[in-house]
Chains A and B, each alone.
Chain A
């Protein structure tokens, strides 16, 4: 069991280090509930940003279509 505990502690520390590299400085101080809340908020922000990018891509396609129309003329 001790071995499982050490392995789990290693994985947890590794994940915390990655989060700190990604800018989540206080990752080591958050509880599981706070981490879950942070994940949900980040996921919501991600969806917002993906929607924005999708809108930009749609507009980019319109611009390309107008380019093609001008080139054909």
Chain B
């Protein structure tokens, strides 16, 4: 049997290597290491490598035995236990304690146990008794009894051979199975590696995909909302809200304007009626009085008209602005409704938007019609102003006529007074006589007497005709 035995840092050996084939005898002087080699081999096969075997100045030792195509290596450090490796890289025994690994036991270099006695036929050291020859009777009898029968030995040999053959067959089958298992193991390892790579790829892509899906979803919402916000902002910038107070005042002026228009119409009708009447002082006086009466109504109306005309342009602007605002507000509402009702298609939203836009344009056209109506009312108001001017002019003429008539009447009264005075003078001249007593001119009374205011005496008629003088 050939074997190779080697070691590192064992006792005095830094390195040693020893090969043997068949019976081999070591010969050498004392302290050359013969016993050390024996202890190294025994330490390997019996797990008896103490820490004190480690070479001084080193921390780890190891010994190896190559036999029957296998290598058995034992190593240890000062503080650790012995570790075994069978065929480097294949089988490791790192926690064996004081046991001998099974592959090492199968080398057959163990002690022999017979009953309660233990014998070592492999290793003997200096000073040991010779094997069997110096055993005590009891153990010697036990050993000899165990091997006393040749038949028993032959039977044991046959049994051992049979067992060996069966075990070899089983080993061959197991080797084949092992080979198949190794092949399957290799395939599974390859598949596992592929599966791991696939899993890693999917694990890498999954968060990226989740993020991209989330980004797209948020972008959809953001684009929709920002588009709508831009539309609202654009409309908001275009809308200018006028002051409500101006609108209220303007609407009140419109009411006044309508009232003034009605009064102007009546004044115009009255002016026409007066123009058709025949002209005479009396009738003019009557018509003038009627005009004056109506003018007391018309003058306040004219004041309202003037104010209303001034406000009209402002009201028109306000109405126009608010009409536009109504249209814009409707457009905003249309956008809101289109956004709310959108069914996911831009075409639907566009159709709804167009319909609402048409509605807005219709509302604006209606507002423009209303403005045109108010403008016509304003035109009527202007005609009213012209009629009022004519009426005022007529009032002036009536006043002149009235003044002329009064002057004429005064003149007639003066003439009548003058005639009366003249007639009284003529009558006085015709009837006046001179008082013969006092020489005063007087007109005699029915009794023909003359009364003296100073003396209180009355002169007799004999004095009549005396002292007559012409009337001045």
Contacts and interface: CB of A to CB of B under 8 A. Distances in A.
Interface in B46-99: none
A4 B212 contact: no
Interface string B112-146: 00000000000000000000000000000000000
B201 A52 contact: yes
Given A15-B221, A38-B219, A60 B195 contact: yes
A25 interface: no
Interface string A2-33: 10110011011001101100111001000010
A46 B221 contact: no
**Secondary structure class of chain B's binding surface, majority of residues:** helix
A45 to B, nearest CB: 6
Nearest to A36: B223
A73 B188 CA distance: 13
A29 to B, nearest CB: 12
Contact of B216 (A12, A42, A56): A42
**Interface-central residue, B184, B215, B232, by most chain A CB under 10 Å:** B215
Contact of B332 (A4, A11, A23, A52): A4
A67 to B, nearest CB: 6
B214 A22 contact: yes
Given A39-B220, A56-B202, A67-B191, A8 B228 contact: yes
Interface string B407-445: 000000000000000000000000000000000000000
Interface in B268-322: none
Contacts of A5: 229, 232-233, 236
B233 A24 contact: no
Interface residues of A, number: 38
B212 A32 contact: no
Interface residues of B, number: 40
Given A24-B215, A56-B202, A1 B235 contact: yes
Contacts of B216: 39, 42-43, 46
A24 B211 CA distance: 11
Contacts of A73: 184
**Interface-central residue, A16, A36, A39, A43, by most chain B CB under 10 Å:** A39
B209 A15 contact: no
A70 B336 CA distance: 64
A56 B236 contact: no
Contacts of A22: 211, 214-215, 218
A1 B191 contact: no
Given A15-B225, A35-B226, A4 B219 contact: no
A12 B194 contact: no
Nearest to A61: B198
B366 interface: no
A43 B191 CA distance: 33
A43 B209 CA distance: 10
B222 interface: yes
Given A4-B336, A8-B228, A18 B205 contact: no
B227 interface: yes
Given A4-B332, A5-B236, A63 B208 contact: no
B213 interface: yes
A18 B219 CA distance: 10
A42 to B, nearest CB: 5
Contacts of B188: 67, 70
**Interface-central residue, A1, A24, A27, by most chain B CB under 10 Å:** A1
A21 B264 CA distance: 75
Nearest to A57: B202
A1 B329 contact: yes
B225 A11 contact: yes
Contacts of B209: 46, 49-50, 53
B298 to A, nearest CB: 47
B230 A32 contact: yes
Interface in B171-211: 184, 187-188, 191, 194-195, 198-199, 201-202, 205-206, 208-209, 211
Contacts of B191: 63, 66-67, 70
B225 A12 contact: yes
B205 A16 contact: no
> What 5 A-B pairs have minimum CB-CB distances, sorted nearest first?
A15-B222, A8-B229, A39-B219, A46-B212, A11-B225
5 contacts: A4-B332, A12-B222, A36-B219, A39-B215, A53-B209
Given A22-B211, A46-B213, 13 more contacts: A15-B219, A15-B221, A19-B218, A19-B222, A22-B214, A32-B227, A35-B219, A35-B226, A39-B215, A53-B201, A56-B198, A60-B195, A66-B191
Interface of A: 1-2, 4-5, 8-9, 11-12, 15-16, 18-19, 22-24, 27, 32, 35-36, 38-39, 42-43, 45-46, 49-50, 52-53, 56-57, 59-60, 63, 66-67, 70, 73
